């Protein structure tokens, strides 16, 4: 299938048909509900669909997507709302709709199949199965009918596949069985954990990153640009690791900061409302695909905090604050959890009754003339944000005519200047104007794993920037998860919440990301109960997902629901691999509990993917980052004193102004928290402060320097570790 580059379309709303809603109408998933009025007789994933396929000897067609997926919307309007296509599907197939955010296990195994078959993947993910759930053909977006420009049509594809099935079902069954067996033979389930965990994993990645670095536009690779926050955090933390050679540290710092600067000035950033879009369709960070995902906000915030701690530059702090304020304002459930995404499409203010991608975010010169009648102000803002009469979408492979006259807001560089008052007043005017537009669709699923990422970002920002509101929001989100998606009797998590808890059990990523968030919450609050809960969840994750033979964690539990073997999947995608985060969690927990078994398991999790780590230096950035916690002597910083006191805050301020990638923060609060830690850490039992002053202990591998009550002395001790 040819790859489509023209991804921005001006699309009219689908006129509803007269037929009754299908089986998806009562679904918990917003994505499935978007297809409830299709003429296609959709089933949700489950035994009913496959029993029907078996009884009637029909093939199964599955389509996987999510509610803010642009091309899912396109295929919905073009094919799944088409009466002729729907009639053919209903007569000859059993059709299943799947929300990939609700069932990442199903999405993962069939996406792996399609990527192996075609060399590429994406959503919507369309796969054809035999009645026993075995795939034999698949792809992503298809136009409804053959199109010389867009490729093979969906209708002739389903007709040809069904014809082959009718003519020779035995051959198709044999082919699907062979494909599954071949893929299962390459499953990592039987691989052995081996290989050293050392800082070479980081230095090799720095060198390899240089070959992929786009010196002109910044970022990595050619064509579309994704933030790649996991890679940026690895580079910035490597730059703050003294054991790495100076030239490698300097290179890592340059690539990381130059890319972040391109991101925070580019069109991928929402300069008016805060936050970041999912990616840009061009190499220069100019024209975004306008979805906003919760996980992107959280992960970019982590990289921005790293950059601020490394440099002290206010622009990284400002971008952090704007992003988190956007989450608190627009993406937060009143009960404390965070929603998953905002759509790329919205109602077109210039063409009522239609939807257009980016309509909520784009501006014309006419808009600026109306909003800024003073020519001097208008000219200054237009120059600063690169607003042009013909629109500023890039040329090349993009449909320039579709964006004629529309502009994304972007800044040439971080050195660009404008009068601060003019900028502030201009942004306020743009916010007010945009508030009158209809917002994009909000996917209000509260996904456990993505909330874990948000908890980490908020907790860390609350600690570093002394923002109690961020810390409180992180606590409320964690409380929401534990009260609504955690079963204390079984110790298990559910996958998501939308109006009610989902019947779908949590996956390895749900446990890993929530554990990470809870450990960050302890550091932000000094409340040891977050550590206790993190350890309980780690025990459950071990029981359900750990590969006790070869190390690492499977993504999902064994189930007859899926014909493929369980996979451990080490690669970071838009979100980090649960194996990578789990390795970090185990290393951190080993410090809280002085448990060498946990440290060994962290090392074994990294070593389980030694072959992948050696194959390409830019691969698995978060797993390489975990090596910082495993391969170095652990740095423990103990603050003794009353939490939230001025003296403790002064000590924390010194720590937080420095990027210390491998440090663990511990509190000696003379209360239950210290008593709890003291059960496992002998050296913390006697740590205390005197005369209402906070005392800081800087320790390596539980061997401490002389304690100090002077923040300046602490600063010198910490600087010696950088």
Considering only CA atoms, which of 68, 166, 140, 139 is closest in space to residue 442? 68
Is the pLDDT score of 92 beyond 80?
yes
3-state SS of 664-709 is EEEEECCCHHHHHHHCCCHHHCCCCCCCCCCEEEEEECCEECCCEC
Q: What is the pLDDT of residue 400?
A: 55
Q: What is the pLDDT of residue 571?
A: 81
Q: What is the mean pLDDT of residues 193-222?
A: 88
Q: What is the pLDDT of residue 233?
A: 97
Q: What is the mean pLDDT of residues 702-721?
A: 93
Phi-psi map region of 634: left, alpha, beta (phi>0 left; psi -120 to 50 alpha): beta
**What is the per-residue pLDDT across 436-454, written as a single tens digit (0 to 9) for each?**
999 999 999 999 999 999 9
Q: How would residue 21 be classed by pLDDT, with cut points 50, 70 and 90?
A: confident
Higher per-residue confidence, 578 vs 16:
578
Lowest mean per-residue pLDDT among 99-108, 332-341, 563-572, 608-617: 563-572
d(CA 696, CA 709): 6
Question: pTM to 2 decimals?
Answer: 0.93
d(CA 566, CA 110): 12
Q: What is the pLDDT of residue 2?
A: 34
Q: How many CB atoms lie within 10 A of CB 116?
A: 14
Q: What is the mean pLDDT of residues 256-271?
A: 98
d(CA 166, CA 89): 14
**What is the per-residue pLDDT across 458-474, written as a single tens digit (0 to 9) for each?**
999 999 999 999 999 99
Structure tokens at 93: 């197939």
Q: What is the pLDDT of residue 395?
A: 62
Q: How many CB atoms lie within 10 A of CB 589?
A: 21
Handedness of CA 392, 394, 395, 397 (dihedral sign): negative
Q: What is the mean pLDDT of residues 90-94?
A: 97
Lowest mean per-residue pLDDT among 209-218, 278-287, 357-366, 564-573: 564-573
Q: What is the pLDDT of residue 397?
A: 57
Q: What is the pLDDT of residue 404?
A: 82
Instruction: Say if CB 222 and CB 214 are below 8 A apart.
Output: yes
Structure tokens at 202: 């980081």
Higher per-residue confidence, 128 vs 356:
128
Q: How would residue 6 be classed by pLDDT, with cut points 50, 70 and 90?
A: very low
Q: How would residue 195 be classed by pLDDT, with cut points 50, 70 and 90?
A: low
d(CA 76, CA 343): 15
Tell me the C-alpha to C-alpha distance, in Å, between residue 14 and each of 81, 85, 146, 290, 345: 8, 15, 21, 21, 14
Q: What is the pLDDT of residue 194?
A: 56
Structure tokens at 695: 């005392």
Higher per-residue confidence, 627 vs 519:
519
Q: What is the pLDDT of residue 398?
A: 59
Is the pLDDT score of 7 beyond 70?
no
Q: What is the mean pLDDT of residues 361-386?
A: 97
Q: What is the pLDDT of residue 394?
A: 78
Is 417 exposed, middle or buried (CB count within 10 Å of its CB: 0-12, 13-18, 19+)?
Answer: exposed
Higher per-residue confidence, 197 vs 415:
415
Is the pLDDT score of 185 beyond 80?
no
Cβ contacts of 32-35, under 8 Å, gap ≥ 24: 32/97, 32/99, 34/67, 34/73, 34/76, 35/76, 35/80, 35/97
**What is the per-residue pLDDT across 154-167, written as a single tens digit (0 to 9) for each?**
999 999 999 999 99
**What is the per-residue pLDDT across 610-623, written as a single tens digit (0 to 9) for each?**
888 888 788 899 99
Lowest mean per-residue pLDDT among 173-187, 395-409, 677-691, 705-719: 395-409
Q: What is the pLDDT of residue 10?
A: 31
Q: What is the pLDDT of residue 399?
A: 55
**What is the per-residue pLDDT across 498-539, written as a single tens digit (0 to 9) for each?**
999 999 999 999 999 999 999 999 999 999 999 999 999 999
By percentage, how much of the chain surpasses pLDDT 70?
95
DSSP result, 47-86? HHHHHHHHHHT-EEEEEEE-TT-HHHHHHIIIIIT-HHHH
d(CA 563, CA 552): 21
Q: What is the mean pLDDT of residues 129-149?
A: 92
By percentage, how much of the chain surpasses pLDDT 90?
77
Going along the chain from its start, the domains and CATH numbers come out as 10-186 (3.40.30.10), 200-343+443-632 (1.50.10.10), 361-436 (no CATH), 636-719 (3.40.30)
Q: What is the mean pLDDT of residues 647-670?
A: 95
Q: What is the pLDDT of residue 187?
A: 60
């Amino acid at each position: 299938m040819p790859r489509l580059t023209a991804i921005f379309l001006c699309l009219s709303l689908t006129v509803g048909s007269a037929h009754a809603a299908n089986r998806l109408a009562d679904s918990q998933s917003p994505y499935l509900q978007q297809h409830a009025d299709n003429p296609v007789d959709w089933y949700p994933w489950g035994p009913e669909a496959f029993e029907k396929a078996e009884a009637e000897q029909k093939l199964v067609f599955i389509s996987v997507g999510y509610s803010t997926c642009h091309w899912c919307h396109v295929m919905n309007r073009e094919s799944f709302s088409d009466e002729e296509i729907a009639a053919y599907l209903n007569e000859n197939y059993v059709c299943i709709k799947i929300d990939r955010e609700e069932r990442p296990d199903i999405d993962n195994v069939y996406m792996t199949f399609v990527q192996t078959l075609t060399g590429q993947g994406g959503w919507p993910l369309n796969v054809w199965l035999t009645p026993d759930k075995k795939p034999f053909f698949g792809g992503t977006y298809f136009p409804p009918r053959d199109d010389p420009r867009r490729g093979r049509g969906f209708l002739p594809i389903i007709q040809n596949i069904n014809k082959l099935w009718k003519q020779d079902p035995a051959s198709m069954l044999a082919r699907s069985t062979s494909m599954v067996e071949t893929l299962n033979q390459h499953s990592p389930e039987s691989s052995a954990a081996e290989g050293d965990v050392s800082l070479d994993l980081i230095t090799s990645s720095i060198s390899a990153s240089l070959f992929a670095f786009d010196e002109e536009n910044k970022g990595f690779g050619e064509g579309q640009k994704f933030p790649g926050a996991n890679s940026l955090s690895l580079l910035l933390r490597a730059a703050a690791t003294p054991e790495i050679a100076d030239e490698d540290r300097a290179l890592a710092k340059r690539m990381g900061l130059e890319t972040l600067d391109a991101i925070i000035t580019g069109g991928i950033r929402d300069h008016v409302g805060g936050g970041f879009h999912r990616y840009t369709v061009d190499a220069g960070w100019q024209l975004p695909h306008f979805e906003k995902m919760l996980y992107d906000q959280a992960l970019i915030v982590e990289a921005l905090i790293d950059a601020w701690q490394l440099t002290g530059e206010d622009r990284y702090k400002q971008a952090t604050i704007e992003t988190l304020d956007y989450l608190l304002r627009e993406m937060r459930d009143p009960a404390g959890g965070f929603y998953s995404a905002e759509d790329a499409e919205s109602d077109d203010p210039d063409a009522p009754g239609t939807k257009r991608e980016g309509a909520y975010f784009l501006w014309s010169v006419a808009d600026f003339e109306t909003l800024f009648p003073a020519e001097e102000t208008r000219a200054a803002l237009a120059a600063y944000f690169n607003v042009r009469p013909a629109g500023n979408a890039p040329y090349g492979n993009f449909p320039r005519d579709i964006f004629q006259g529309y502009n994304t807001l972007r800044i040439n560089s971080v050195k660009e200047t404008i009068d601060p008052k003019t900028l502030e007043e201009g942004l306020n005017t743009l916010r007010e104007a945009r508030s009158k537009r209809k917002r994009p669709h909000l996917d209000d699923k509260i996904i456990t794993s993505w909330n874990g990422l948000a908890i980490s970002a908020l907790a860390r920002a609350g600690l570093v920037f002394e923002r109690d509101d961020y810390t409180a929001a992180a606590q409320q989100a964690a409380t929401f998860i534990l009260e609504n998606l955690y079963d204390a009797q079984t110790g298990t998590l559910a996958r998501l919440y939308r109006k009610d808890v989902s019947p779908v059990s949590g996956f390895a990523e749900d446990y890993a990301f929530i554990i990470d968030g809870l450990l960050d919450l302890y550091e932000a609050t000094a409340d040891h109960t977050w550590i206790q809960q993190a350890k309980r969840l780690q025990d459950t994750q071990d029981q359900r997902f750990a590969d006790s033979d070869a190390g690492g964690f499977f993504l999902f539990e064994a189930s007859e629901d899926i014909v493929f073997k369980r996979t451990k999947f080490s690669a970071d995608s838009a979100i980090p691999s649960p194996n990578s985060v789990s390795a970090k969690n185990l290393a951190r927990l080993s410090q809280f509990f002085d448990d060498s078994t946990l440290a060994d398991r962290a090392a074994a999790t990294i070593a389980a993917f030694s072959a992948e780590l050696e194959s390409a230096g830019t691969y698995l950035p978060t797993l390489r980052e975990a090596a910082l916690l495993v391969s170095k002597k652990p740095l423990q910083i103990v603050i003794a004193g009353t939490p939230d006191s001025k003296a403790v805050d002064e000590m924390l301020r010194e720590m937080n102004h420095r990027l210390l990638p491998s440090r663990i923060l511990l509190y000696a609060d003379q209360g239950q928290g210290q008593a709890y830690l003291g059960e496992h850490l002998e050296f913390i039992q006697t740590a205390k402060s005197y005369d209402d002053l906070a005392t800081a202990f800087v320790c390596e591998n539980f061997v401490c320097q002389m304690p100090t009550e002077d923040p300046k002395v602490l600063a010198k001790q910490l600087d010696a570790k950088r």
